[in-house]
Amino acid sequence: MSTTSDTQHDPRVALVTGASGGIGAASVERLAADGLAVAVHYAGNRDRAEQLVGTVRDRGGTALAVGADVADETEVAAMFDEVERELGGVDVVVHSAGSMRLSRVVDLDLDEFDRMHRTNLRGTFVVAREAARRVRRGGAVIAFSSSVVKLALPTYGAYAATKGGVDALVMVLARELRGRDITVNAVAPGPTATPLFLEGKPQEVVDRLAAQPPLERLGEPADIAEAVAFLAGPARWVNGQVLYVNGGIA
């Protein structure tokens, strides 16, 4: 059997979805700092993706902006084609693209639920399926779950339901890739200071959530990117797991 060192490519190539801001952007910067060439995915904001590509290149790294609707299998396949053509292959896929709308279950507009489901669960499935076809031996697939799956916070029911599906997918796909030397895991952040989390929340709510972890602060995107880098590189014996990265909130 080949060892991990036998199957490394130079440079390794990472594709990061939802990479134009927040945790995705922090993950791009961290992986690039670790020496990976990075494909920076965007759905609607090409300018921010291109700015991030410029930042990586200014620091001596290799980066490429790629666009796709993560829930559209044709667009996702074309995105992987472009990454393979321009960067030589795919070793790491980080799927951080996501959507969150908060509401009590009894009040939620089902159109809102469908939109979250399309991005968070179908999108994860489509990207993971393509990753399973493309990622080279010795690689890693990293999806994004959420700590709210086990925290069971009111108004997060629909969002947590989509992320619970991600947990199940990761565990199954890890087993289906037996013999490929590819790890499949999910990162489950807690409250993290991103626009997605902060939008629409009164300051008192933010302060209350920030006080809950023993470390008494919100996570920062860079905190989550540390876990992504761990799973993308040295964590070859971590597989089929959901890694909670939440400062000890639960």
Joined together, the tokens standing for residue 126 give 């489509």
- What integer pLDDT is reported at residue 157 of this predicted model? 93
- The strand ranges marked E within the chain are 13-17, 37-42, 63-67, 92-95, 140-144, 183-189, 242-245
Half-sphere exposure of 22 (CA within 13 A, CB side): 22
Residue 228 to residue 17: CA distance in whole angstroms: 13
Tens digit of pLDDT for each residue in 82-140?
Answer: 999 999 999 999 999 988 888 899 999 999 999 999 999 999 999 999 999 999 999 99
Q: Are 228 and 185 in contact (CB under 8 A)?
A: no
Of the candidates 180, 148, 175, which has an alpha carbon nearest to the alpha carbon of residue 239? 175
Domains of the chain: 10-245 (3.40.50.720)
Q: Per-residue pLDDT for 4 more than 60?
A: no
Active site residue 244: no
- What integer pLDDT is reported at residue 3 of this predicted model? 37
Active-site option among 42, 156, 159, 244: 159
Residue 90 to residue 23: CA distance in whole angstroms: 20
How many CB atoms lie under 10 A from the CB of residue 133?
Answer: 10
User: How far, CA to CA in Å, does 72 sit from each of 79, 94, 191?
Assistant: 11, 17, 29
